[in-house]
Chain A
Amino acid sequence: MRCLICHEETIPKITWTNFWSLPEKEVLCIVCRSMFQPLKPGCPLCFREGEKGVCEDCQWWEQTHPGLLAKNTSVFQYNEFAKDFVARWKYRGDYILLEALQWHVVEHFSRMRNSDYIIAPIPLSEERSYERGFNQSEAIIDLLNQRPHSLLERRNSEKQSKKGRYARITSNNPFKLIQSVRQPVMLVDDIYTTGTTVRHAASLLKQAGCPAVTSFTIFR
């Protein structure tokens, strides 16, 4: 096998436990694997690293919009390497690259999975989805082997990543509800930066009577 990121040959480790079995598929080499930093638990609400107790951002959210998002869970630090990774995967459209993260993301997800929750992707505008070729949050749900429930739709197609922090937090809600649910919902997205996107989606779901909304993002 070759590493999905650097295309170098991956060398599987041989130990006594796998000595007689067929070699496992290694899609990531040791060097690239070590560049992804798994997050250590921090803020109990948004998973921000290095916080003891609720972080400032979440306190602000809880004051202005109490109880919108019950909890966010993330897997990896959004470091420089992860930024390049996301750029290549999402913006250049290297779809298969996501499989490089399967080893850890799936494990992390199954540990916190609660089967009461239904899984919903963050929608993409039609224009953007045509241009990009795929919806990043559906791709993640696919990676996790779950069934996506389309509950929302996007009205306009502004890119969040091109905006500053303040512009993001105060932006209008870009989503529209197409189906209301009575079950708790888990939203899946690639990156949690300020948490505005998932909270916009959560506010619509909550208004329509959804009891609880959590989110699962790969990078934080």
Chain B
Amino acid sequence: MLQTLRTYFSDDFDWLPDLVTPHYYPQLAGKLLLHYEIPLDEPHLISALSQNVLIKVSGLEHHFWGFRCRRCGNKEQHLFAEIPHAACGKDCVYCRCCIQMGRVTECEPLYFGSPNVAWPRFENPCAWKGELTFSQQTAADEIRNVIQLGKGEKLIWAVCGAGKTEMLFPGLTEAFSSGKRVCLATPRTDVVRELLPRLKAAFPNVEIEALYGDSPNKQGAAQFLIATTHQLLRFAHAFDVMIIDEIDAFPFHQDPALHYASKRAAKIDSSLIYLTATPRKAQHKRIRNKTLPVVFIPKRFHGHPLPVPKLKLTPSLFHHLKRGKIPPSLLEKIKQQQQSNRQLLIFMPSVKQADQIAEYLRKWKMIVESVHAEDPKRADKVMAFRKKHYPILVTTTILERGVTFPSVDVYVVDAGHSVFDEAALVQIAGRAGRSPDDPYGEVIFFHTGKTNPLLDARESIMKMNRLGEKL
């Protein structure tokens, strides 16, 4: 009784068998799959099962007080339902929480693949020839130490544009030269798409694979995976090094299933590295309690301060937005901005408004595109904007983080809206001035009345700049 209560409330994954069978199926290593997801034909599957490369574990835990899904950790009883199941002929309970990744039922097992694959070791995997700044180097050394040690946690708290990706390179070099498996997980698909070419260029010989909702390749068989956090629902005890980028981003920070999955995807002895520019309450608390070792970098890699956002009051904003327009003062400002060499990134609180405003600006003979999360051409539009094919991009919060445009000004329209919390505003402001050739950029928050997130965001950017100056 106590034992079952303990397993129900703690996430220590002792239901996963200690499976160490060495094998040559990288596509199965550290996977937790449904039957139809297994990339083997029936005879191979049977032989894999008999060799203990794969082991069946039941997908749902049934306690007398309720169920728990082992794949997504769901304990909410309203997210379980019954189906008259044709495969077993009975009414079967299934989990509705992770149903988008396929159905986990009571009667069908999950297949856990042994993580023990001999990954290649590389002499000199890193082809990146750039140099790290002093503060980047400090962080990079700390990361390498954690990876060398093979266990422990580390939070890298670095401002937007501090060069977080580059800081990882020495640590990744260490990991690949000792034959470790690495996963870089992030909540955002755009970030995965952006990181893949950069990391491929830096580690040309290491097998790197990107995994996200509609990625062309879904094997998950490479030594180095760059994945969205949702994809971790299919992994268990797979990685020696787990790097989670943007831990404070939606949907990771409020979805318990993703926390559960990322915890399970790492091996019991593994190095965990978290990257963020804007830690949330939970992390602040752990930093204060000294239970989470942290490296703090308040300076951008090019040494220039972060652009401090200007707040601009536009009282007639709602009046115009309702009619699908923008106030004349803002329009004037945009026209003025277009005289300069910089591109313009405009953030809107909702998809509908983003489309409307893009349409409105087109009437004034400006070349404008708008993107939102469900946009089928999202990746192409972002890529074209980065290549400077058009001057103005109107977006929702999907581009708030992880993406780099060399030289942009950033306007946030209706910055007091509840979708723009402090973290989002800091991240949005961090899109400007990222390149050493143009380290400045204008960030303006157009609002109808100052709100706490607006002021807090500006305050925290100014604080970072003060701390950065001291270095």
Interface residues of A (CB under 8 A from B): 2, 7, 88, 92-96, 129-135, 142
Contacts and interface: CB of A to CB of B under 8 A. Distances in A.
A91 to B, nearest CB: 10
Contacts of A96: 81-83, 96
B420 to A, nearest CB: 22
Contacts of A131: 36
B99 interface: yes
Q: How large is the interface on B (under 10, 10 to 19, 20 to 34, 35 or more residues)?
A: 10 to 19
Contacts of A93: 83, 94, 99, 103
Nearest to A99: B81
A94 B99 contact: yes
Contacts, number: 44
Given A2-B78, A131-B36, A88 B83 contact: no
Interface string B78-113: 110111111100001010100110110100000000
A127 to B, nearest CB: 11
Q: Which 7 A-B pairs have the closest CB atoms?
A: A96-B81, A95-B83, A93-B103, A94-B99, A129-B86, A92-B99, A133-B85
Nearest to B97: A7
Contacts of B100: 88, 92
A131 B85 CA distance: 10
Contact of B103 (A133, A135, A142): A133
Given A92-B100, A94-B96, A133-B87, 19 more contacts: A2-B78, A7-B79, A88-B99, A92-B102, A92-B103, A93-B83, A94-B103, A95-B82, A95-B84, A95-B94, A96-B96, A129-B86, A130-B86, A131-B36, A132-B86, A133-B85, A133-B92, A134-B83, A134-B85
- Most chain B CB inside 10 Å of its own CB: which residue of A2, A92, A129, A133: A133
Given A2-B78, A7-B79, A134 B103 contact: no
- Most chain A CB inside 10 Å of its own CB: which residue of B85, B96, B100: B96
B106 to A, nearest CB: 12
Contacts of B103: 92-94, 133
Contacts of A130: 86-87
A129 B83 CA distance: 13
Contacts of B83: 93, 95-96, 133-134
Nearest to B87: A130
A120 to B, nearest CB: 18
Contacts of A92: 99-100, 102-103
A192 B98 CA distance: 29
